[in-house]
Amino acid sequence: MMHNANRLQSLSLYGCSSLLSFPTNGPPTTLTSLRILDCKKLEFLSGEMMAKLTSLQSLLLSDSCDSLRSFPLGIFPNLSSLHIMRCQNLESLSVEGGADENLSHLNSLYIQRCPNIVSFPDGGLPTPNLTYFSVWDCVNLKLLPDRMHTLTALQRLEMHDLPNVVSFAQGGLPPNLQSFNISNCERMRPSVEWGLQGLASLQWFGILGNKDLVETLLNQQLLPATLHHLEIRCVSNLKSLDGKGLEHLTSLQHLEIALCESLKFLPKEGLPASLSSLGIWRCPSLKKRYRNKKGKDWRNIARIPCINIDDEITII
């Protein structure tokens, strides 16, 4: 029986289409890692089983446990990494004690392609040591966690394909963010309330597929002057970049622009003097205009030490 494997630390269940339940006594309590993939009929662990997994640090749940409606965040005593992917019927994450519970052990939370998830715990995530938080392709999600500014340990934040999220970061973004990536969140509008300008630790910012977001961030100069790396991708209807929104980025070293077919010009004035590299990929109008010594406006970018246009690299 599984519960007799009292030294087992890692367990993976994959493609067990007929598996319905765990053994009565649950999986071995010595587990530090549990991966459940493509086990749709499997009933998730009972509360009693979860409470016994005091050594569990990493849990991956993918394409499994179709009967699971709400995932209880706080019940694993020492879980540090939680990845939930393609759980079709999952509707929410819950915390038994609400925002008063302290999930100090959790430092990585990744939710991807859970089409029916609609909410996070009321009052926000009581995860003071969370360093990585990623939400991908959750089409019915309307609100991200409350009180994001209280996640003072958070360094990396990713939000992708969240078409119905409108409200975000009331009270501000996590103050110590180092990397922030946002893509295809069509209804999201940045504001001063996000507090982006005050994020002195933010080094990397990526935007994908949202013209209004790019234009608002640049027109209102919402990005922090300390930013090192800016990436703009897949904004097919973006026609121009506001130089004033870039020129105040006095620490910017790397600018990458990709798959922006309608973008024809870079700001003649406004590209930060601090730039050490410029990358342009699959932007035909930009390529024609800024190619090495051949483009009409090559001279406007020629001072940048490293330029890569569709893998044609110029180093000065």
Residue 188, pLDDT score: 83
Listed in sequence order, the residues at least 6 apart from 73 whose beta carbon sits closer than 8 Å to its beta carbon are: 82, 93, 94, 95, 103, 106, 121, 125
SS3 state at 36: strand
Beta bridge partners of 158: 134, 181
169-203 tens-digit pLDDT: 788 899 999 999 999 988 888 878 889 999 999 99
Residue 161: closest CA among 195, 179, 188: 188
Q: What own/partner pairs with CB < 8 Å and gap ≥ 24 does 287-295 have?
A: 289/264, 289/265, 290/266
Residue 280, pLDDT score: 96
Residue 309, pLDDT score: 95
Residue 234, pLDDT score: 93
Under the banding of pLDDT at 50, 70 and 90, the label for residue 102 is low
The pTM assigned to this predicted structure is: 0.91
Average pLDDT over residues 23-33: 89
Residue 5, pLDDT score: 57
110-127 tens-digit pLDDT: 999 999 999 888 888 889
* CA angle centred on 26, ends 20 and 31, rounded to 5°: 115
Under the banding of pLDDT at 50, 70 and 90, the label for residue 315 is confident
Beta bridge partners of 236: none
* CA 121 to chain centroid: 18
Question: For all residues of the chain together, what is the average pLDDT?
Answer: 89
Q: What are phi and psi of 138, to 5 degrees?
A: -115, 90
For the chain, domain boundaries = 195-316
| DSSP category for residue 44 | P
- Distance CA(138)–CA(305), nearest Å, equals 41
What is the amino acid identity at position 14?
A: Y
Residue 77: closest CA among 52, 98, 47, 108: 52
- Distance CA(278)–CA(202), nearest Å, equals 19
Residue 150: closest CA among 185, 167, 133, 125: 125
Residue 231, pLDDT score: 97
